[in-house]
């Protein structure tokens, strides 16, 4: 049996805000943007490379969903972005205005720094030791 996680749903205040950050600032690739209704779209993005997991940018509609934007993991790091060159991506993200919550640090498993998207979600930018 072979399985993988195809997508993770990420609440955003608007599709445009999600695309501006994930595609324009982080350099993710827009995989699909399909209208489902006048108010709903199927918007998938993914980091560059050969990964399989995508983010489904889901526009929050209800008050409950709007309150959960940026806190889908209860204040913990929510997503882990692996890279083959930490310093390249760290410099690029800083230049794009990405907010890092800490200085990069070297751990037993690799180089890591926590950043936050404009909606409040915490991410690890992580280069694992080989």
CATH number, domain containing residue 98: 3.10.180.10
In a domain, 68, yes or no: yes
Q: What is the pLDDT of residue 2?
A: 87
Residues 6+ apart with CB under 8 A from 30: 19, 23, 43, 44, 45
Question: pTM for the whole thing?
Answer: 0.93
Range of the domain at 70: 7-128
Q: What is the pLDDT of residue 103?
A: 98
Could you give the dihedral angle defined by the CA atoms of residues 4, 79, 121 and 9, in that order, rounded to the nearest 10 degrees?
0
Residue 23 pairs in a beta bridge with none
Q: Mean pLDDT in each 10-residue stretch from start to end of the chain (130 residues)?
A: 92 98 97 96 94 94 96 95 97 97 97 97 96
In a domain, 1, yes or no: no
Q: What is the pLDDT of residue 52?
A: 86
Q: What is the pLDDT of residue 86?
A: 98
- Number of folded domains that form the chain: 1
In a domain, 2, yes or no: no
In a domain, 93, yes or no: yes
Could you give the dihedral angle defined by the CA atoms of residues 14, 54, 72 and 24, in that order, rounded to the nearest 10 degrees?
-40
């Amino acid at each position: 049996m072979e399985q993988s996680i195809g997508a993770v749903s990420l609440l955003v205040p608007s599709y445009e805000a999600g695309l501006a950050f994930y595609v324009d600032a982080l350099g993710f690739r827009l995989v699909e943007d399909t209208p489902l209704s006048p108010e709903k779209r199927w918007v998938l993005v993914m980091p560059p490379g050969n990964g399989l997991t995508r983010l489904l940018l889901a526009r929050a509609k209800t008050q409950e969903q709007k309150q959960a934007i940026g806190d889908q993991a209860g204040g913990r790091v929510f997503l882990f972005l692996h890279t083959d060159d930490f310093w390249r991506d760290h410099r690029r993200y800083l230049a794009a205005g990405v907010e890092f919550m800490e200085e990069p640090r070297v751990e037993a498993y690799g180089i890591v720094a926590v950043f936050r998207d404009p909606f409040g979600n915490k991410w690890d930018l992580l280069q694992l030791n080989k």
